[in-house]
Amino acid sequence: MDEVLPVNGRNYVYRQVENSFTQPNATVNCKMLEWAIDCTQNSEGDLLELYCGNGNFSIALAQNFRKVLATEIAKPSVAAAQFNIAENKVDNLQIIRMSAEEFTQAMNGVRAFNRLKGIDLKSYECNTIFVDPPRAGLDPDTVKLVQNYDRILYISCNPHTQCDNLVELSKTHRIEKAALFDQFPYTDHMESGLWLIRK
């Protein structure tokens, strides 16, 4: 299914594929995208996104960066992201099929990955990172990786695990902006957004 999302006067087309993660509430998703675009306006350098899914955020955020590098582990989501990149005519975004944990290992030199052949990681000057992890939040190694970036945009479907991660992240970064998004009205579930800047 293809979905059209109006965001800041532009229509984004997203292919949604079966059994893949997507933001469940299109209206709230548009508000989240607008908030993320606003946070990252006037950003310099490049963006790294972990857990990019079908490219929902990375496609909309690409306008604010020179280049975007995004990771996603699920093959159907990567295929949908590639379609969405082409459909939205975004030419500064590259998707790598690997988990956040694998990417952390690659960045830390723990092991090499064939999937990174032909990708010059050194050509990226990422000083902003975007994460929208699963409900479990960021694992400790990924938290350490995230702390290496000047700016962190962190969207979470579980504010409790986001708060747990914030214990470590607040040692190096301060909260510049925060937002709550109600994807499921009349339930306890909330989506939390944080824009953190290095202290």
Q: Annotated catalytic sites, by residue?
A: 157
Q: Is 51 marked as a binding-site residue?
A: yes
Ligand-binding site membership of 125 (annotated): no
What is the DSSP pairing of strand 126-131 with strand 46-50? parallel
The burial of 136, by beta-carbon neighbours within 10 Å (0-12 exposed, 13-18 middle, 19 or more buried), is given as exposed
Q: Please give the full DSSP string across 31-53, using - where no structure is assigned.
A: HHHHHHHHHHTT--SEEEEES-T
Q: Is 23 annotated as a binding residue?
A: yes
Please choose, from the candidates 93, 19, 24, 83, the residue with its C-alpha nearest in 3D space to the C-alpha of residue 54: 83
> How many other CB atoms sit within 10 Å of the CB of residue 153?
24
10 Å Cβ neighbour count for 85?
22
> Was 139 annotated as part of a binding site?
no
Distance CA(145)–CA(149), nearest Å, equals 8
Q: Distance between terminal CA atoms of the chain?
A: 43
**Which residue is it, tokens 């548009």?**
30
Annotated binding site for S-adenosyl-L-methionine: 23, 51, 72, 132
